[in-house]
Chain A
Amino acid sequence: MKLREIAHSRTGDKGNTSNISVIAYDEKHYPLLLAHVTSARVKAHFAGVVEGDVVRYELPNISALNFVMSQALGGGVTRSLALDAHGKSLSSALLDLEIEDRFDP
């Protein structure tokens, strides 16, 4: 299944850094997020967009992950050549991630 079926997401921007939240609709799916939505997968998914590191922060109280992606906004919102200089649309791309719908610890 697609990540979109179990989680919602929002992108924020600061300079050349983008952050994307991934929030489980239902807390029972949080372990699936933890297992399948890793920094490495996010970095690979955004090949060609994110040039720096991807760091993942975990927020179990709200069943959410926060991905902080450096060198991700074409040199920074205020100077980027990109049509979507803020990277507002990146969350939609991440929700297209394929997730295995079972959890093998």
Chain B
Amino acid sequence: MRTIRIGSGAGYSGDRIEPAVELAEKGDIQYLVFECLGERTVALAQQARMKDPESGYDPLLEERIRAVLPLCAARDIKIVTNMGAANPVAAARKTAEIAGSLGLSSLKIAAVVGDDVLDACKERDLPIMEFEGTIRQLGNRLLSANAYLGAEPIAQALTCGADVVITGRASDPALFLAPMIHAFGWAMDDWNLLGQGTLAGHLLECAGQITGGYFADPGFKDIPDLARLGFPIGEVGEDGSLVITKVTGSGGAVTAQTCKEQLLYEVHDPTRYLQPDVTADFSQVKVEEIGEDRVRISGGGGSPRTGTLKVSVGYVDSFIGEGQISYAGRGAVARGKLALEIVRERLKLTGIAASELRFELIGVDSLHGAHVSVHANEPYEVRVRVAGRTENRREAVRIGNEVETLYTNGPAAGGGAFKSARDVVAVASVLLPRELARPQVQFVGGEQR
């Protein structure tokens, strides 16, 4: 039976770079996938592109590609990534330029375009899923609308001989499913295979989160050598069989426990994991340790895909103003609470227009609120935190100022004040009839397929 090995080189845009180099060098892989596109990243990248038409792709693209391209070219490892963000064509051009500078100008670089569906969404004035309202009602606050594309155009690019495929918004598991479709010729209506392939992609897409990252809990769940965490490899057979492993000698661990945690990560109903290519079913999955750092995952299934694509809509939501200051020693919590009362009163007295406010003590109740934290012990030091949502920057700035003035107007011995005011680009979702997104593969140089 034919088998391919797919490495996962990044789990988010800022992820470590050396683990991908290790995969390319020692992983005996044929594909290296970088998942680098967070929910709101496309909206932020779109803002950048509006200022500079050659920007709008992942800021770490050059560093990542330079680090792995010579190794990948020497070993014929194909690269698939969503680092194109809001501008996959510019990202592909940049990649071609890097390839040229490394003496690798024969490499074929493809961009997948067509995820930008802003016009189609506006035309239909689609309803927003998270709150009452429609696309058009966002008015000039609307920044971007990008559909989660499936594996098909990526697989097509690979089949056309691409060495590097760069997408914008695409479903994360699809980045991994595409090499399987390309290598094994899976039919796009073989729902069980697509479901099992999606399962593989889902497990791999967060990179270190399945090899021991986001997992260690000393005394309960110990993981060796997290500073040198190895990123995962999926060994996929043409029948959909799957083993998760990693480079021998790298840090971390692949165990039944790490795989089970990642299996349910960001999953809602496990019988219906909605993807552009398939409705995947993870409910019958089995997880079995078959060797050191080798875990077999079976039982993924699927049913037909839905008629719509999820679209991530970026918009300017609001401003957030924030201030922090610390207190320590005996009575720290009492002084912190007094500080919060003072700021609460000051925000009222000065008439700051905030639609939502949080008053909390870092070290006591900032993460889970007063109810969940009620039995916490009194800490040696606390940090006051006040945050508020406003309509404009001027109001947001005033919130941080009211915390900072505690230095000279608040309780004794407050130190290390910090303040910030930032605009919030948020994302919401709409569902677009799938035929309205028309993905295309574009090789740099302009050749369309």
| A, B bound | yes
- B270, A59: Cβ atoms closer than 8 Å: yes
Which residues of chain A have C-beta atoms less than 8 A from B325's C-beta?
none
A16, A81, A89 — which one has the most chain B CB atoms within 10 A of its CB? A81
Interface mask (A74-92 → B, CB under 8 Å = 1, otherwise 0): 0111110111100011100
- A93, B372: Cβ atoms closer than 8 Å: yes
Give the contact stretch, choosing among B21-29, B163-171, B235-243, B258-266.
B258-266
Mark out the residues of chain B between 250 and 301 whose CB falls within 8 Å of any chain A CB in the assembled complex.
Answer: 257, 260-270, 283-287, 299
CA distance A79 to B355 in the complex (A): 13
Name the residue of chain A whose CB is nearest to the CB of B318.
A79
Number of interface residues of B (CB under 8 A): 51
**Contact pick for B285, options A49, A62, A78, A83, CB 8 Å:** A62
Interface status of B367 (Cβ within 8 A of chain A):
yes
**Contact pick for A19, options B264, B287, B389, CB 8 Å:** B264
Interface status of B317 (Cβ within 8 A of chain A):
yes
- B371, A89: Cβ atoms closer than 8 Å: no
CA distance A66 to B268 in the complex (A): 8
- A23, B367: Cβ atoms closer than 8 Å: no
Which residues of chain B have C-beta atoms less than 8 A from A15's C-beta?
39, 130, 427-429
CA distance A62 to B368 in the complex (A): 28
- B426, A76: Cβ atoms closer than 8 Å: yes
CA distance A14 to B425 in the complex (A): 16
- A83, B366: Cβ atoms closer than 8 Å: yes
Number of interface residues of A (CB under 8 A): 39
CA distance A93 to B356 in the complex (A): 24
Name the residue of chain B whose CB is nearest to the CB of A82.
B358
Interface mask (B217-242 → A, CB under 8 Å = 1, otherwise 0): 10011000000000000000000000
Given contacts A14-B266, A15-B130, A61-B286, contact A89 B358 (CB under 8 A): no
CA distance A45 to B266 in the complex (A): 21
- A89, B264: Cβ atoms closer than 8 Å: no
- B429, A57: Cβ atoms closer than 8 Å: no
- A62, B260: Cβ atoms closer than 8 Å: yes
- B424, A78: Cβ atoms closer than 8 Å: yes
A–B complex contacts, Cβ < 8 Å, 21 sampled: A8-B261, A10-B214, A10-B262, A10-B264, A16-B130, A19-B265, A45-B372, A47-B372, A48-B368, A61-B286, A62-B285, A64-B264, A66-B264, A76-B130, A76-B426, A78-B39, A78-B317, A79-B318, A82-B367, A84-B367, A93-B372
Question: Which A residues contact B (CB, under 8 angstroms)?
Answer: 4, 8-10, 12-17, 19, 21, 23, 25, 45-49, 57, 59, 61-62, 64, 66, 68, 75-79, 81-84, 88-90, 93
